[in-house]
Amino acid sequence: MAVLNIVKDGDEILRKKCRPVVQFNERTKRLLDDMKDTLHKANGVGLAAPQVGVLRRVCIIECEPGELIELINPEIIEQSGEQEEVEGCLSVPGRWGITHRPMKVKVRAFDRDGNSFEVEGEGLLARAICHETDHLDGVIFYDKAVRMLSKDEIEESDDE
Ligand code: ZN
């Protein structure tokens, strides 16, 4: 396992559409394991494969410590409600914005062994699922932000 380099905003790889995983092999498992190490090192909530330079439809989310969700070829199949929250990204350090996301989503994906499953998320998990699946289509959160936070607002929230 290894900690990978996180691609930063401005790199065109973050703007590319990722291709689906077709073979669930050792390479896929290794990518997932390395992404987990990378996410933990960065203290993040989610990470998508293009953020580590791999253009495949793979992302991981860990909203609760120890509850890692691995999503391969994820598709959001249901969504409802709306939430307005502050959002950031490991590829966009130091910048935060307010986004509108669904309050609840249901996603269908494959696990590392190639089995299809569905997971429902609410609140932070719903937001993370939307954020990470957006990365697979080259979309960054600030594309959807209704407003970016100013430097003063970011400093204020750091003091809390
Ligand atoms: Zn992100």
Neighbours of ion ligand 1 (CB under 5 A): 89
What CATH code is assigned to 12-159? 3.90.45.10
* 155 and 71 Cβ atoms separated by less than 8 Å: no
Distances, alpha carbon 95 to alpha carbons 7, 41, 139, 141, in Å = 15, 19, 16, 10
Q: How far is the CA of 109 from the centre of ligand 1 (A)?
A: 19
pLDDT mean across residues, the chain: 96
Instruction: Mark whether 132 is an active-site residue.
Output: yes
- Listed by start position, the domains of the chain span 12-159
pLDDT tens, position by position, 25-84: 999 999 999 999 999 999 999 999 999 999 999 999 999 999 999 999 999 999 999 999
The residue from 26, 62, 132, 156 that is catalytic is: 132
Say what the pLDDT of residue 26 is.
Answer: 97
Q: Give me ligand 1 centre to Cα 48, in Å.
A: 7
